[in-house]
A and B are shown apart, each in its own frame.
Chain A
Amino acid sequence: MPTLSTVTVGTRLEERTHEPSMVSLFLYNAVIWNPHRIHFDESYTTQVEKHPGIVIDGPLQGDWLSQVVTAWLGDDGDLVELEYSNRRACYLGETLRAGGEVTAVDETGGTVTLEIYIKNADDQVIAPGRAVVRLPA
């Protein structure tokens, strides 16, 4: 588990691949009570809203970003701030990667700042983000 004394700027967090399925997207939208048709109704999504396919939820990508951080923290350390922007849409069938890197260590404040990202198969960052965590000494 990371501690303030072992973490340095440039420390990379383990990347994780996400390939949501129709079932996993359905469960996510059910659990957040989101009936937006772009997440399950393909003909509506492509014909009316003119997307190329079923849209992977922006906040689900936000959750993956949070998991980059929580997986790294384990049961020690606390997530203090999480922010991200959904810059580019992604669609069912795509494979996305979530990862991050330490960008600042504040030893007196006990916090570490991370840059986090979701990338698509073309290596484009489709959801950049930032997190602040509090680490044990």
Chain B
Amino acid sequence: MAETPGLLTPEIRQWVGRSDTPQRLEVTRRDIVKYAIATQQRLEKYLQGDEAPPMFLFNAHQLLVQIEALRPDGLTPDPLLPDLPLKRVMAGGIKNTYHRPIKPGDVLVLTRTLTDIYEKQGRTGPLIFVVYGVRVETEDGELVMEETRRRIFR
């Protein structure tokens, strides 16, 4: 896929580097069990909620907004992004690094940063890739997990 310069203006690129308000998350056994059921986990430690499965925190940094504030496609507006020339959103993938397991009772602080925006020519047209870094720590500052996440706008 080749670069197709033109969609991303300098104004859009200026958003790279911004972080949003850290989100505080109280991990409960019930939330872990719900996640384990929804994803059809098989290990007892996940099904019993003793430990969170590796992808448990996906989307956990997302702001909680009123239904009236959602986008027409249902998604939560992203305060880290300007208005992009492409509107349809797809998941792109992640890279997670795990430092210690997440257990019920953990109180985590999630900080998300917009780390890159770039464009590519896809099979069906131009694509904009948006990359975020999410840092997950305890309230005492112990590093728990780092996530790099890509979203694709087409």
Contact = CB atoms under 8 A, between A and B. Distances in A.
A36 B74 contact: yes
Interface string A75-91: 10011111111100100
A90 to B, nearest CB: 11
Interface stretch (B13-21, B88-96, B109-117, B134-142): B88-96
A6 to B, nearest CB: 20
Given A32-B59, A36-B73, A66-B55, A71 B42 contact: yes
A21 B75 CA distance: 22
A13 to B, nearest CB: 13
Contacts, number: 109
A37 B72 CA distance: 9
B95 A82 contact: yes
Contacts of B58: 32, 59, 62-63
A6 B95 CA distance: 27
Nearest to A65: B55
15 contacts: A24-B40, A32-B60, A35-B70, A35-B75, A38-B73, A49-B73, A55-B90, A57-B91, A66-B54, A67-B41, A74-B43, A78-B98, A81-B95, A81-B98, A82-B54
